[in-house]
Structure 1
Amino acid sequence: MDSHGGAEADLATQIRVEMVRRGMLQQDLADAMGIERATLSRYLMGHRSMTMATFFKVAVALGVAPSALLEPITRPGDSAN
């Protein structure tokens, strides 16, 4: 269960959406960021707060503009895509 809410939960969800779009597993993203998969998992589950530096590492590793991770949540297959 997520222990965080609001913007952090939305960010974690959008990161997961972008991972799915790219066919990435948590291990793939963690490797691209140079962190342990368990650390990434803690960020995504809200057990650890993400610094701005980490936020930018996520965006770079996903190949998206940081602002794309702050957009309203869009899931693959949504008509807004």
Structure 2
Amino acid sequence: MPRISVSHDHDQSLASLGKAVRVRRKEQKLSQEALADASGIDRSHMGKIERGERNVTFLNIARIATALGCKPSDLLIAAGL
């Protein structure tokens, strides 16, 4: 099985997770920059996460969830994962 490059992996689950993060962020009226600052993630990286362009580590999912006041599982469930 060939190795999948993260830069070329457009897996729907990444897009779904990114959308779930964006929806919750907007519900809380947070800017992308404010969420990035609160979660300790670079703003440009946060944008790539929301667009489904980055394979997010569990630690970053946990940081984002904490900044959004929810559990990591809430984000995964909202993403249908």
TM range (shorter): 0.7 to 0.9
Does residue 16 of structure 2 align to residue 10 of structure 1? yes
Q: CA deviation at 1:59?
A: 0.5
Q: Percent identity?
A: 34
Moved over 4 A (4+): none
The letter for the 1-side match of 2:59 is A
How many residue pairs align between the two structures? 71
- RMSD over equivalenced CA pairs, Å: 1.6
TM-score normalized by the length of structure 2? 0.76
- Alignment-derived partner of residue 40 in structure 1: 46
The offset of 1:66, in angstroms, is 1.2
Q: Which runs of 5+ in 1 are unaligned?
A: 74-81
- The equivalences for 1:54-69 within 5 A come to 54-69=60-75
Q: TM-score, normalised by structure 1?
A: 0.76
Which has more helix, going by share of residues?
2
- The equivalences for 1:20-39 within 5 A come to 20-39=26-45
Structure 2 SS opposite 1:70: helix
